[in-house]
Structure 1
Amino acid sequence: MKLVYKGKTKDVFLLEDGNYLLKFKDDMTGENGVFDPGSNSVGLTMEGAGRAGLRLTKMFFEILNKKGIPTHYVDADIDAATMTVKPAVLFGKGLEVICRYRAVGSFLRRYGMYAEEGQALDAFVEVTLKDDDRQDPPITEDALDMLGILSHDEYKVLKELTKKIGAIVKEELGKRGIELYDIKFEFGRVGEDRHIALIDEISGGNMRAFKDGKHVEPLELEKLMLE
């Protein structure tokens, strides 16, 4: 097993069979001890956060696989806080795709002249470049195509998958009285045919969720969803 990447919330290892092992950490993104899924830095460490994120990720990936939605998921070991995944090729140096149902976070900071906090959004899809130095700038479909990162046809697939997966997550949370405000996904090209598939994770650390008007922290979200 060879370490190939040390990330903010996960380390990535290459396995002998060509698959990869993701090791989930207890570190979470945010600033000054406050969790923020859109942050570019580790802001806090919460014991058990890695396993909690993996439990939720395992649940969602297995739901998606049953529905025939392409992912890189193979299996997970909760005790070891690891997930085995198929190799994937990133778009450029990585993209983040956000599906927004409420105007909060960076959306509100940018568009606050027109949007009110918590305003309902119709599954608004936003793509940003994974670029910490430039604060993960948003990028348009045309720019993605012109820069050779993603073609127009691939963008359509990406957007459709984002809305479909977001709706599934939203529905699952809704069954437990939890409202999804926004969620962040990552995609890559997987397999010999290089089809677009969901990669990385689906956990409380990638979304904003609220119950009874109060923000649900990632560890609490895992308890509410899996108890």
Structure 2
Amino acid sequence: MKLISWNLLRLTGASLDDVARLIEREEPDILLMQEATVAMDGLPLRVGGDFRRTLLPNRIHGLAVWTPGKLARPPRIVTLPSGAMFDRIGQVVDLGAVSVANVHLSHGQLLNRRQLRCIARELPHHAVIVGDYNLVGPALLPGFRDVGPREPTHIAGDVVPLRIDRCLVRGIGCLGARALLREASDHRPILVNLDVMHARRPMMEPARAAG
């Protein structure tokens, strides 16, 4: 399963055209987005597939998922421990073989680890937690392995390189990972190839033909 995660940088970052070009170029099985705005709702008209977006509480942006085929069921929303400024949620996508949690965690280094533990409790054994962790150092999440790219994925203040876009897995293997080239956003997309060949259920329903 080819998975891509990208923080789009809400209004001033990646556009609908940028995201469509990424899909056409990389052909992912699933694309997770953070800071996705209403502008991304036009994605199915550009590239087809299934698109689901959920706003963060009291924000103009949120979490979104795109898949080339129709999801068997809508993503499940998990409420995470809140910070002093913003409430946070996780978007859990059931792909049959594995559940994928899309996250945009808080900046507090104790709080974002609490949020990770919270969403991990909501997931089955075969699970992925991916997105913008805003996390420095190890995740310290028992049972999960960090399989994301090792190179920096974000430049804080255009000065300090940080690896804050992460991918943790439990119960599945990883065949490789890399950070893609930086485009319009201040985050680089991350690409992870996951081994889900042990799956007994289909990942998603086949897409219906248009018309």
Larger Rg: 1
TM-score normalised by structure 2 residue count: 0.29
TM-score normalised by structure 1 residue count: 0.28
Bigger relative contact order (CA 8 A; separation at least 6): 2
